[in-house]
Amino acid sequence: MPSSYPGLCGDCAFARVIDSGRSTFHLCERALTDPRFRKYPILPVWSCPGYQRQGPPGAPPGGGADDKLSG
Ligand code: SF4
């Protein structure tokens, strides 16, 4: 059984798993541009306003709805 269940970070599109060899960390990529988020969240994360479920491989974070041009 894993000792550090990541909670929401486990399948968030903005989480990046960092394996240092001795430990594994979840880096929050939202923290790189938004100070409301910790770069290394305290796990497990049960509630997060930035959570975005991972889409299919190759899909942009958030499903790309914000990236679409209109008009
Ligand atoms: S946005 Fe929230 S759920 Fe997603 S990686 Fe960052 S802290 Fe984890």
Both tokens of 22, joined, read 């001795």
- Determine if the pTM surpasses 0.85: no
Ligand 1 contact via 45 beta carbon (within 6 Å): yes
User: 25 C-alpha vs ligand 1 centroid, how far in Å?
Assistant: 12
Residue 34 lies in a domain: yes
Count of domains observed in the chain: 1
Which residue range forms the structural domain that includes residue 6? 1-49
The better pLDDT of the pair 71, 62 is held by 62
Q: Does residue 61 form part of some domain?
A: no
Q: Is the CB of 41 under 6 A from ligand 1?
A: yes
- Residue with the bigger pLDDT between 11 and 2: it is 11
pLDDT (tens digit, 9 = 90+) per residue, 11-30? 999 999 999 999 889 999 99
DSSP string, 14-51: TEEEEE-SS-EEEEEGGGGT-TTS-SSPPSSB---TT-
In whole numbers, what is the pLDDT of the chain averaged over residues?
84
Query: Is residue 67 assigned to a domain?
Result: no
Q: Look at residue 64 and tell me whether its pLDDT is greater than 60.
A: no
**Whether the predicted pLDDT of 60 surpasses 80:** no
Verify whether ligand 1 is closer than 6 Å to residue 12 (CB atom).
yes
